[in-house]
Every structure is written in structure tokens, then in C-alpha cells.
Amino acid sequence: MNFGGIFDLKSQEEQLKSLQKESLDPSFWNDKENASTILRNISRLESNIKLWADLKQRHSDISVLFEFAESGENQDEDIISEIKAYEDIIRDLELKLILGEGQDIQDAIITIHPGAGGTESQDWADMLFRMYSRWIERKGF
């Protein structure tokens, strides 16, 4: 069964190879807008493929740790930390699913206005800006 989209890893790997090959063309930078789009797509595909590879590796690691635990070795802390890392990857994947539509890869402009309220509202606007900026950097947007 093929679900397509971010679930079709083979298609994404082929698309990545094609885009990487295209980026090696000497005339690649003649059209800077197209080059920028291609590089963004390469980055997005690499990120998605890495996410799936990490998910697969974590699943394998958890299975091995459970086998060790069944054989009598105490692996509780390792299992818990691996499951937490696995959950983090799944949350990232959920976010990619939610923000995975065609227009969702476009840039966005966020404006935060402090409004009336003096320095307190300005401080609040600054805190919101820092919060959003850090989240955006951490998530790689």
C-alpha cells in the first residue's frame, strides 16, 4: 500500500537525487529564483528523509533494548530515554503532516504589535517575538 506524500520515501529519495543532480549543472545559478526554490526543496527532502531514517533507527534500538530486557538485563533507563526520543520524532512528524500542504513551505511574515499599554505591552511583544524566533530556529524554518 502506498500512501504517497511524506510516506513515499522511495519517491522522495529519487526526487532528492534528481534535484541534487540538477543543482550540479553549471548553469544552475543563471536563474537565481529557481535555484533558491530547488535548494529549499533539497533541504526539505533531506530533512524529511533524515526524520524517517531516525524514526526507523529508534524503532530498531527500542526493539533491541526490549530483547535485552526480556533476557534479564536491566535496560529501563535506556528504554525510557529511547522511547522519549522516539516520541519527539513522532511529534516532529506530526507537525510535518499538519504543515505539509503545497503552500505551507512558503515563507511567512509574522508581525507582533504591542498595542496600548506602554512598556509592559512592549515587553510582552518582545517576549513573544523571542519565543517565536527561537521556536522557528529550533524547528529549522
- pLDDT tens-digit map of 96-121: 777 766 666 677 888 898 888 889 99
Answer for the pair 11, 52: CB distance below 8 angstroms, yes or no. no
Who has greater pLDDT, 74 or 124? 124
Q: What is the mean pLDDT of residues 71-75?
A: 77
The full DSSP string for the chain is ----GGG-HHHHHHHHHHHHHHHTSTTGGGSHHHHHHHHHHHHHHHHHHHHHHHHHHHHHHHHHHHHHHHTT---HHHHHHHHHHHHHHHHHHHHHHHT-SGGGGS---------SSHHHHHHHHHHHHHHHHHHHHHHT-
- pLDDT tens-digit map of 4-50: 555 677 888 999 999 999 888 889 889 888 898 889 889 888 888 88
The grid coordinates of residue 89 equal 520524532
